[in-house]
Amino acid sequence: MRALARLAVTTLLVAAPLAAVTVATTTASAADDPAPITVLTSDFEDGTAQGWTGRAAETVTHSTAAAHGGAGSLAVTGRTAAWQGPSLDVLGVFEKGTAYTISAWVRLTSGSDNARLSVERRSGGVAAYDQVVGNTAVTAGGWVNLTGRYTLAADVDFLRIYLETGSTTGDFHIDDVTVSYVPALPIQTDIPAVRDVVDEFPVGAAITGAEIIGDHGLLLSRHFASVTPGNALKWDATEPSENTFTYAQADPLIAYATANDLAVRGHTLVWHNQTPSWVFTGADGQPMTASAEDKELLLARLENHIRNVAGHYGDTIAAWDVVNEVIDENQSDGLRRSDWYNVAGLDYIRTAFRVARDVLPDAKLFINDYNTNVPAKRDKLYALVAQLRSEGVPIDGVGHQMHINVSWPTLAETEAMIQKFVPLGVEQQVTEMDVSIYTGSGESFPAPPADRLLQQAYVYRDMFALFRRYASEITSVTLWGLADDNTWLDTFPVTRKDAPLLFDTRLQAKPAYWGVVDPSKIGVSPSGSVSPSGSVSPSGSVSPSGSVSPSAGVAGCSVTYRVTGSWSGGFQGEVTVANTGAAAVSGWSLAWQFAGGQRIAQLWNGSVTQSGAAVTVTNASWNGTLAPGGSASVGFLGSRTGSNPAPAAFTVNGTACAVL
């Protein structure tokens, strides 16, 4: 994942679908998947509404005014609210634990809006709404497809799929709705369990409700020694309205963990995402400000939340991410300007840890964040933890999320990340590891290419070898998901099928699994891109702090990388680096890693060194000063073998840059 690119999209998570006890992700079938079995089709070709009804008093009728395929569709008219729309009873159609792909075509009668596809389920009269496909732009100009994946994970007595719009109440049509699934494969029982091979620390997986059922549950308890509920313990899931606590999502997961002797990491008590807006609404109904009353109310709500949620599970959850993603390395004090910070300053972090310690004297309390391998961010996190611990704030450990990709970061940067925190005497845990097959937001593959899966296997191999070497510091390593059929990266940072985990969409072991368990079985090296003896060799990488001392770091930078010409075996490129900080930069050193074995032959407007995949370009004498908003470009000729992927990440003077 690109370092700073993530920041821009993090806020989207607030609106992201809550997987709840279901899996809802977009899908693309792998090339070797068997043909899906279709369990439901609504083509509206027989002149009827084929069982579809409205959700309220709106009218749902067969229509020939528009059709996606054939001559008929379903029209919905007379809506008085955006949530009204066509709905179909699917009780008995969806089998618990099976991952279905739901596809529907939508066209508005006029105007434009978003459309969503969801499932309403009820158990014992209690309703839950699972979003399968989130807001997708639709118009009157053409048909738009909504496709998503859904796994029913609870016993239900009511189950309907439905479509609605984002904000307007105009008429719309749907057509060619299908529900299908790819038959599951039994899990492999003749391969070593990850938890047996890696026994220096518990290896965990983040889970939603669907992962404790059927083959998923068997895979989970066979290979993993720890679980983290991926969404079920977040604020919106546990205290959706003030002082109303519900553990309906989390309790089944924790009960499964206890029954199967799995440790549990609690995630997370305080975050700026997935937190209901009432938390930051003052007694006067207005958004809170930094006033004394608002701060007091916010900290009281925080305390009440932690006492209830942490108290509900007591010692069953022995490690908690007390605060999540509080660092912003672009702020001079290193603190993210979240609603928490804006109302309560640093006191929200102090309060969170102190209350958590009071409720859970024996639990390990973590501060968790992403991109902790980026020197600027890592250093701000370090400074915060050092300060708070010196004040007596009970922080036991640092959580490194480790959302990485096949070509970023280097092993050396990751080792530097671990080493940085050793002098603090804190525990370190890898809390959310996944290795995207993508090296940039522009890429999208219908199925994971073999060479990316091999690169990924080498990354898992090298990273796990590193973690095991540092087992005296690292007390747990959790992957952010069980298998590639349910990964948040299918919709983050853009919608496309990703494959970041150890098991594939059919729960079978990938090369990545062998990278962790027995690297001699990974398979052949991908041509040119990754050496079998080290995909991210420490000697071939850029020094973690950059070739320029961190004190000469930049506050913010962006990089544009363009291939301006390409021919067999070679290419020409241009890289522009811009200073997006407020202060001038005097002398710059730009670094990146090539992911496809490219070599630079000649470079102009700067000087270049290349060691393995690692390239470092320093300014020429005339373009070393970058005023705020200023930029400089270098051009180069390079050699290539096969594909020519753009580097995923760039640093200037050790600071990760936004990639444009």
State the Cα angle at 435 between 96 and 640, rounded to 5°.
Answer: 135
Residue 60 backbone dihedrals phi, psi, to 5 degrees: -125, 115
Among 100, 353, 460, 488, binds ligand XIL (CB under 6 A): 488
Stretch of residues binding ligand XIL (CB under 6 A), selected from 12-20, 156-164, 509-517, 544-552: 12-20
8 Å CB contact between 173 and 74: yes
- Catalytically annotated residue among 325, 329, 413, 473: 325
Active site residue 239: no
Nearer to ligand XIL, 151 or 324 (CB): 324
Active site residue 574: no
Tell me how far apart the alpha carbons of residues 412 and 603 are, in angstroms, rounded to a whole number.
26
**Helix, strand or coil, per DSSP, at residue 88:** strand
The DSSP output letter for 645 is: P
Identify residues 226-245 at the interface with ligand XIL (CB under 6 A). 230-231
Per the structure block, which two tokens stand in for 409? 């970061």
Residue 136 CA, distance from chain mean position: 19
8 Å CB contact between 160 and 119: yes
- Catalytically annotated residue among 164, 211, 415, 432: 432
CB of 118 to ligand XIL, least distance (A): 15
Nearer to ligand XIL, 19 or 426 (CB): 19
CB of 564 to ligand XIL, least distance (A): 35
CB of 409 to ligand XIL, least distance (A): 16
Stretch of residues binding ligand XIL (CB under 6 A), selected from 11-19, 192-200, 332-340, 409-417: 11-19
Instruction: Show the site string, 423-442: x = touches ligand XIL by CB under 6 A, - = not.
Output: ---------x----------
Instruction: Show the site string, 363-382: x = touches ligand XIL by CB under 6 A, - = not.
Output: --------------------
Identify residues 563-582 at the interface with ligand XIL (CB under 6 A). none
Residue 204 binds ligand XIL, judged by CB under 6 A: no
Nearer to ligand XIL, 238 or 324 (CB): 324
Tell me how far apart the alpha carbons of residues 185 and 288 are, in angstroms, rounded to a whole number.
52
Peptide bond into 289 cis (omega under 30): no
Helix (H) or strand (E) holding 534: none
Residue 13 binds ligand XIL, judged by CB under 6 A: yes
CB of 595 to ligand XIL, least distance (A): 23
Instruction: Show the site string, 318-357: x = touches ligand XIL by CB under 6 A, - = not.
Output: ------x---------------------------------
Tell me how far apart the alpha carbons of residues 609 and 587 are, in angstroms, rounded to a whole number.
16
Residue 514 CA, distance from chain mean position: 23
For ligand XIL (CB under 6 A), the number of binding residues is 9
Tell me how far apart the alpha carbons of residues 111 and 63 are, in angstroms, rounded to a whole number.
19
Nearer to ligand XIL, 368 or 616 (CB): 368
How far CA 33 is from CA of 67, 148, 318, 395, 424, in Å, comes to 30, 17, 40, 46, 49
The DSSP output letter for 551 is: G
Q: Which residues of 242-264 are buried (b: 16+ CB within 10 A; e: fewer)?
A: eeeeebbbbebbbebbeeeebbb
Among 3, 4, 19, 49, binds ligand XIL (CB under 6 A): 19
Nearer to ligand XIL, 16 or 494 (CB): 16
Using CB under 6 A as the criterion, which residues of the chain lie in contact with ligand XIL when the complex forms? 13, 16, 19, 230-231, 324, 401, 432, 488
List active site positions.
325, 432
